[in-house]
Each structure stands twice: as C-alpha cells, then as structure tokens.
Homo-oligomer: A and B are copies of this chain.
Amino acid sequence: LQQLLDQSPKSDWRAIDPDNTLYMELPAGRVIIELVPAFAPNHVKNIKALVREAYFDGAVIVRSQDNYVVQWGFPDDAPRAIKQAQKTLKAEFDGPIGRPIPFTALADPDTYAPQVGFSLGFPVARNPELGKSWLVHCYAMVGAGRDTDADSGNGDELYAVNGQSPRNLDRNVTLVGRVIQGMDLLSVMPRGRGDLGFYQHAEERTPIKSVTLASDLAPAARVALEALRTDSQTFAAVVEGRRNRKDAWYKVSAGRVGVCNVPLPVRAPAEPPTH
C-alpha cells in the first residue's frame, strides 16, 4: 500500500478543504474530522454554526460503547443552551442517486445494499430501485445523534463508529463526515458502564477543550492534509490490492473486499524542496 501511495501522482490527491475540517482538542491530542456537505448540507452547516458559537468548547465524551460508537456533546444532566444554531433539522439520511457526485463502484457484493462504493472520499451505498444513495457506517464515520423522531437531530451530539460497521444504522441517522486523524484517541475511551455505554459519573467523561473549524484559523495554524481521491487510478489500484493480496504472508487471497475494509488514505502533503 505505502509503495503504491509513494508512487502516485500528486493529481490523485485532493487537499482536505479547511472549510469542512474540524479540529477537536482532547487532553490526549487532536482529532480531525472531515465534514461532507454534499451528503448532509444542512447538518454540516449547523455543525459549523455550533462550532462558531463555541458550543462544543467544554463538551465531553458522554458515551463509549464497545464495538459500536463513541459519542460526544453534553449529558442530559448538564445540558448547554444553543444560541444561534438550529435546534432540530430535517433528517438527511439519504439523497437522490442523481446528485452530481462522482461514484466509484466496488465490484464485490455487499450484505446490506445492492451497490456500494466511494464518493468524494467517503464510503457510500446505492439502491438504484429506490433511486437513493447514502453514506455508510464504516469505522470512524461520524454521525449526528437523534431522538426517536427522525427530524430530531441537529449535530449537537456527534458519534464515531468504533467497531464493526453498524450498517443497520444506515439510512436511520444522518452521517456528516469521518475522523481522518486521531481516531486512535477516540477508540480507546474507556467503555461506559451505563446502558448503551453512557458514562454514569461526571468524572468519567473526557473533556473536549475546543472544536474549531480549520478555516477560522490563520493558514499557518492549520494542518495541511490531503486525501487520496476515490475516483483516481491509484485508489483503483488500492482497492485491487486489497481484493487480491499478493505478498508472501498471504496464503489465500479473498478476491473480494468489503466497502468498510478499503483504506481511505490521508497524508500530510510532501513539503516543497527547500534549500
């Protein structure tokens, strides 16, 4: 994989847009999330509004359920008031296939959807019969928690998948992005002992110092990151390499790969040569 990436042309990579990038500061370090407005425009807009009113500064990890999700926001017993942002939003669970979004299909069958693949760097499923497409719940995908009503979420409570892809949640929650750096800080949060992995005591909740939109920082304060384009030749080679492992260690090659088993490489861009 590394060899493939090292040999890839610069044009196969896209710069992560600072206007869709969140920096979440934990005691152990920074978590970076890429938002995907093409799939959840209203939720992404509202998350940015929440970030800009400093809603998440002082929020906490409220839940860590093993092999499911880690979730952050404010606990029911210590809520925070929303100032300007929307308090509820219409669900953005899926959208019309016809959206002008590139789609790179995977050849292999999927348990949950008739078609799976990648759009704009994110794992996606499609059902041509329904005319729908949607983001899928792979590891590190970020969604907006909601109550029983489909339209009760607004992005003020977010979660990231920390285990086997809970694909049953697809089309039931609005996915808004993906953790592209620092998932290893979220995944090791001690599991909560309450129902659904919620922490039962305030002192168990890891504090979130701040969440910042990268584009609100001076360019020099941003982390330059680029992602492999999922509509590139190099990505096609990555997928094929995962379908058919050929190194000396593998004795049997699956000849298949799941949508949540394909790596979505992100890297710091190479520095221009200096003297």
Contacts and interface: CB of A to CB of B under 8 A. Distances in A.
Contacts of A184: 66, 191
Interface string A230-257: 0000000000001001001111101011
Interface string A130-148: 0000000011100000001
A245 B109 contact: no
B109 A252 contact: no
A21 interface: no
Contact of A109 (B67, B109, B150, B242): B109
Which secondary structure characterizes the binding site on chain A? loop
Interface stretch (A7-15, A43-51, A162-170): A162-170
Contacts of A190: 188
B251 A93 contact: yes
Interface-centre pick from A93, A108, A163, A165 (highest chain B CB count, 10 A): A163
A40 to B, nearest CB: 16
Contact of A148 (B111, B189, B248): B248
A164 to B, nearest CB: 5
A216 interface: no
- Size bracket of the A interface: 35 or more
Given A172-B251, A249-B148, A261 B166 contact: yes
Q: Taking the full assembly, how many copies of this chain does it contain?
A: 2
A258 interface: yes
B245 A183 contact: no
Interface string A104-124: 000011111000000000000
B258 A112 contact: yes
Given A67-B183, A139-B163, A148-B248, A168 B111 contact: no
B248 A164 contact: no
Interface string A48-75: 0000000000000000001100000000
A139 B68 CA distance: 11
Nearest to A171: B252
A168 B166 CA distance: 19
Contact of A257 (B110, B111, B257): B111
A252 B67 contact: no
Nearest to A191: B184
6 contacts: A93-B251, A93-B252, A109-B111, A111-B257, A150-B251, A162-B163
